Amino acid sequence: MVDYRPGLDGVIATQSSISDIDGKKGILSYRGYSIEELAMESSFEEVAYLLIAGQLPKKNELEKFKSAINEYQNLPDNLLVLLNSLPKKSDPMQVLQLTAASLGSFYSLEFNPEKTKGKEYTLDYFLDIAAKLIGSIGSIVPAWQRIRFNKKFIAPQRHLNFADNFLNMLNNDYKPSDLVKRIMDATFILHAEHTINASTFTAMVTASTLSNPQQVISSAIGSLSGPLHGGANQKVVAMLEKIEKKENVKNWLENTLKEKKVVWGMGHREYSVKDPRANILTTMTQQLFDEKGDDVSDLFDTAIELERACDAILSKKGVYANVDFYSGILYKEIGIPVDLFTTVFAVSRVSGWVAHWAEQISNNKIFRPTQIYQGSGNRKYININDR
């Protein structure tokens, strides 16, 4: 009998050199570099280059890549017309998926499947595609935030890096501190890649059909939008707001576990210890709250108490805080609207998706899993008048 693994749990679907996880030790690395070192020392643009090229860029290579991303952050007028034509109540992830799929109409994203047979695509080609997708998708999110509230699009500034431009394009009246800028850059790095998760697998399946890169990214965005994947940090904030304050944590957790409901932001299929990205975000959240002093919400104290209570009960089952538990708190405190959280995740993950697209088409075979049929046996068609 064929071995059936619900959710493809543990099924090896590909070989990859992009990222690696040791769930028992709590280790995540991109191309062999630890996530802790990259988050503290690198930049999002450098990490995006690393994921796609397989190596860290030289100074001139990084400057060229950053310049290209910045160029494509300035959205074409017709793309802004498209965004302005959408109903203002549209969900940001639906807007992002729609516009991502349309990018081939505004940019040259030529992809000829015949070239993959001779492996004629070069690193420069993939970096160019990445710059177009990262730059434009990174601007669609803040552009939509402004457009839906009848505000004008803010063009990117050449002297700002990707994360700084993102914050400025959201709200140029907001003057973030150096710490906030660093946190934004680091969160883009932390969400850039995470092996074969649901959205990355979706990207790989679409890539295996030799679809265009914008269609690959659009399909991945659709997969990311669900609360069991990219939407989890929105659920975390809603959960913490429902708890209200740290004094309510114990009773809330007991009732939630008794009713077998989800504690959002807790547990990860890949980790039996605390998610290393959550460790980094915990530190950054504390730094931000220290900087802001009394001008913070009760979310962080509530989150710390909830994590402590969960550790006492759930750690014996290998359930610890994951990246979503603290990313939502950080986004909220630096002024990012809750319904944009998942779009920020998508902006971050474009670089990882492009890296997997490039890897998939370099040694491609279309995905075609099988099934165990459990339906009816042979049946005879009955005319509609005799049913």
Domains in the chain, ordered, with CATH?
Answer: 17-226 (1.10.580.10), 232-333 (1.10.230.10)
At 89 the pLDDT is 96
At 304 the pLDDT is 87
Tell me which H or E stretch contains 32: none
At 4 the pLDDT is 84
At 2 the pLDDT is 64
Tell me which H or E stretch contains 27: strand 27-30
Q: Which of 24, 16, 21, 52 is nearest to 35 (CA)?
A: 21
At 315 the pLDDT is 84
185 neighbors 43 (Cβ within 8 angstroms)? yes
Separation of alpha carbons 252 and 243, rounded Å: 7
Residue 317, judged by CB atoms within 10 A of its CB (0-12, 13-18, 19+), counts as exposed
Query: Within 10 Å of residue 248's Cβ, how many Cβ atoms?
Result: 14
pLDDT, tens digit only, all 387 positions of the chain: 468 888 888 888 899 999 999 988 999 999 999 999 999 999 999 999 999 999 999 999 999 999 999 999 999 999 999 999 999 999 999 999 999 999 999 998 988 877 666 467 889 999 999 999 999 999 999 999 999 999 999 999 999 999 999 999 999 888 999 999 999 999 999 999 999 999 999 999 999 999 999 999 999 999 999 887 888 888 899 999 999 888 999 999 999 999 999 899 888 878 878 889 999 998 998 899 888 887 767 888 898 899 899 988 888 888 888 888 888 889 988 889 999 999 999 999 999 999 999 999 988 999 999 888 899 999 999 999 999
Catalytic site includes residue 268? yes
Catalytic site includes residue 164? no
Collect all residues with Cβ–Cβ distance below 8 Å to 234 and sequence separation of at least 6: 227, 328, 338, 339, 341, 342
What single DSSP character describes residue 19? E
| Catalytic choice (191, 194, 268, 356) | 268
Tell me which H or E stretch contains 29: strand 27-30
At 322 the pLDDT is 86
At 9 the pLDDT is 81
Angle at CA 179, nearest 5°, toward 178 and 184? 100
| Catalytic choice (324, 339, 356, 386) | 324
At 249 the pLDDT is 94
